Amino acid sequence: MSEDKKPEWVDLENPEGFASSIKKGVEIAANHNQASKNRFVKKKGQEISIEDLKAGVLKGERAKLAKGITLVESNAAHHFELAQELLQTLLPYTGKSLRIGISGVPGAGKSTFIEAFGTYLCSLGKKVAVLAVDPSSSVNGGSILGDKTRMEELSRNPRAFIRPSPSEGTFGGVHRKTRETMLLCEAAGFDIILVETVGVGQSEAIVRSMVDFFMLLVLTGAGDELQGMKKGIMELVDGIVVNKADGDNLTPALRTKSEYSRILHFLQPITKGWMAKAYTCSSVTGKGIPELWEMLQEFSNTTELSGVFQDRRRMQSKEWFYSLIEGQLHQLFYKNNIVKQLLPILENQVMAGNKTITKAVQEVFHTFLDSVNTK
Ligand code: GDP
């Protein structure tokens, strides 16, 4: 990050004085370890007090919230421990927000929409946190979501908090960091969490697994776009929003809305008892934004009443639990030195046809388990 855009918690003199900034993408993964170590250098000798952080987060102090998030995002092992301690004590205060995922191809208007929608929600007295899952940041060090000036108005709004996508790391990576950041934001009193992602691949499923409502922003011309859009993504959505329904684009947008509605009608709803529909809005004129909020409230009322909302949250926790276990097992196995030595040998034997695959797998597992047991 550049000098004038330090993480908020650094500004201990004036923690309430500014909203977060999202102008810059995250540092590349290779630098992240170093960067995360440096973040706490200033505080050397000074203990990070979990009690203090907890009290600050619960009071909604931005500086403390940002510091908590920095802990969660850090790849350093001792920060990880502290972050887990903090999250555990804050757990009873989490879960009270409406979590909304927003996806769409680059240029669909996600940032403009979040700016307009978030500002509208703030005007209703809501506190809005915007998080991001950026599939590109860990791959090439760049960021699709964070490398341009985005959501300037919302980032200045004292009721809003915007956090760029975290970088990859161990133990659940971006996925874990965003989920845990969401919990911290809830404990800090944010009642709407918007999780943004770019519709370019796996990240939709990741975001779907952490939100209550999943929204896809699309451009006009459903026919063209659908050609390139994986059907799988349509099956994940609770609603499709045809953005940029203004000016000359209004009529095509309305037509696109009907086309999407027709397609959605034939798909199995992802949320039991909720029929996904298409809507239009303009993030520039604001038309359609209040109606979208009404629809979201209806979604939340309907699903809470039927218990589907709570069931989904429980299932998400369960799936997350198992996915972290799998991640840990994967790490434990592939980082094991004996496994690392043995794998290429077995791989060669299998490829040369000298050993059956099952036998090779058994051999590596026996060796792995022996090495774990003798530790
Ligand atoms: P993102 O890549 O999905 O975040 O898309 P942006 O929010 O950056 O928007 C892409 C372009 O579409 C920008 O030039 C916006 O000004 C424009 N745009 C976004 N929403 C609207 C809208 O509702 N109406 C019009 N006319 N333009 C829009």
- pLDDT tens per residue across span 155-181: 899 999 998 877 766 665 778 889 999
The answer to whether residue 57 sits within a structural domain is: no
Do the beta carbons of residue 364 and residue 357 sit within 8 Å?
no
Q: Whose CA is nearest to atom 7 of ligand 1?
A: 109
Q: What is the pLDDT of residue 327?
A: 81
pLDDT digits (tens, 9 = 90+) for 84-118: 999 999 999 999 999 999 998 888 899 999 999 99
- Which of 20-24, 42-46, 130-134, 216-220 shows the lowest mean pLDDT across its residues? 20-24
Q: Whose CA is nearest to atom 5 of ligand 1?
A: 109
Q: Is a pLDDT exceeding 90 seen at residue 320?
A: no
The answer to whether residue 165 sits within a structural domain is: yes
Which pTM does this prediction carry? 0.82
The answer to whether residue 141 sits within a structural domain is: yes
CA of 272 to the centre of ligand 1 (A): 32
- Candidates 111, 152, 204; CA nearest to 21 is 152
214 forms beta bridges with 101
For residue 113, which atom of ligand 1 is closest to its CA? Answer: 20
User: What does each C-alpha distance from 72 to 27, 166, 181, 248, 374 come to in angstroms?
Assistant: 16, 10, 7, 46, 33
The answer to whether residue 276 sits within a structural domain is: yes
CA of 109 to the centre of ligand 1 (A): 4
Domain count, the chain: 2
Is residue 131 domain-shared with residue 255, that is, in the same domain?
yes
Residue 245's φ and ψ, nearest 5 degrees, are: -85, 75
Q: 106: Cβ below 6 Å to ligand 1?
A: yes
Cα 23 from Cα 1, distance rounded (Å): 9
- Which of 37-51, 77-91, 259-273 shows the lowest mean pLDDT across its residues? 37-51
CA of 283 to the centre of ligand 1 (A): 8
Helix (H, G, I), strand (E, B) or coil at 85: helix
Is residue 256 domain-shared with residue 352, that is, in the same domain?
no
Do the beta carbons of residue 196 and residue 178 sit within 8 Å?
no
The answer to whether residue 308 sits within a structural domain is: yes
Q: What is the CATH number of the domain that holds 107?
A: 3.40.50.300
CA of 348 to the centre of ligand 1 (A): 52
For residue 115, which atom of ligand 1 is closest to its CA? Answer: 7
Is residue 345 domain-shared with residue 227, that is, in the same domain?
no
Q: What is the pLDDT of residue 313?
A: 97
Is residue 252 domain-shared with residue 191, that is, in the same domain?
yes
The answer to whether residue 77 sits within a structural domain is: no
100 forms beta bridges with 194, 213
pLDDT digits (tens, 9 = 90+) for 323-341: 889 888 988 999 899 999 9
Domain boundary among 276, 293, 319: 319
**Residues of the domain holding 314:** 94-319
Q: 282: Cβ below 6 Å to ligand 1?
A: yes
Q: Which amino acid is at 61?
A: E
Q: What is the 3-state secondary structure (H, E, C) of 162-205?
A: ECCCCCCCCCCHHHHHHHHHHHHHHHCCCCEEEEEEECCCCHHH
